[in-house]
């Protein structure tokens, strides 16, 4: 029934698992270091890692509502309102009342926002390249496959 030859059933066990060196800790550490490195990289632009996520999403085209944006990046609506406030104060994002549906508020990057976008990408690429130094393309592809398989298991 199972065509996969190398699939082992048990994996971790409560008897042998060591949380100090375990998988979760490792993953958290990597994520945290990447985020910190990105924050340092973006500090000159006065943009945080959390704001980066919003900006790159908007860069791929305007968004028809903040709630759509929330779902896309799994973010709380209240937090999103205030996040947009900050980005608007910085002049990177613009709120536009939607004429069709006055509940909605369309969002788009300002020219300033569009202008910083390339630097955002450069920053994240630089961080990734640094932390993935020594990886072959095959290894990265497999790494990504591992991560996607975990998500699919969720």
List of residues contacting a second copy (CB under 8 A): 4, 6-8, 10-14, 17, 19-20, 22-35, 37-38, 53, 56-57, 60, 74, 118, 120-122, 124-125, 127-140, 142-144, 146-151, 153-154
As measured in angstroms, the least distance from the Cβ of 79 to DNA is 4
Q: Do 93 and 106 form a contact (C-beta atoms < 8 A)?
A: no
Which of DNA, a second copy, none does 8 bind, CB closer than 5 to 8 A by kind? Answer: a second copy
Q: Does 28 bind DNA (CB under 7 A)?
A: no
Continuous segment of H or E residues that includes residue 93? strand 93-97
Q: Do 65 and 104 form a contact (C-beta atoms < 8 A)?
A: yes
> Which positions from 83 to 112 touch DNA by CB under 7 A, shown as an x/- string?
xxxx--------x-----xxxxx-------
As measured in angstroms, the least distance from the Cβ of 12 to DNA is 25
As measured in angstroms, the least distance from the Cβ of 93 to DNA is 11
Distance CA 125, CA 127 (A): 5
- Cα→Cα distances 119→42, 57, 62, 87, Å: 9, 15, 19, 16
Q: Which residues lie below 8 Å from residue 114, measured CB to CB, with a gap of 6+?
A: 59
């Amino acid at each position: 029934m199972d065509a996969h030859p190398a699939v082992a059933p048990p994996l971790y066990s409560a008897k042998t698992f060591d949380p100090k060196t375990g998988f979760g800790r490792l993953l958290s550490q990597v994520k945290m270091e990447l985020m910190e490195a990105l924050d340092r990289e973006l500090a000159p632009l006065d943009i945080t890692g959390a704001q980066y996520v919003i900006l790159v999403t908007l860069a791929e085209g305007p968004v028809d509502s903040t709630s759509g944006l929330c779902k896309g990046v799994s973010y709380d609506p209240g937090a999103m309102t205030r996040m947009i406030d900050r980005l608007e104060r910085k002049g990177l994002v613009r709120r536009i009342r939607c004429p069709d549906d006055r509940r909605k508020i369309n969002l788009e990057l300002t020219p300033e926002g569009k202008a910083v976008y390339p630097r955002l990408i450069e920053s994240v690429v630089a961080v990734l390249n640094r932390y993935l130094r020594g990886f072959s393309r095959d290894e990265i592809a497999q790494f990504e496959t591992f991560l996607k398989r975990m998500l699919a298991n969720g």
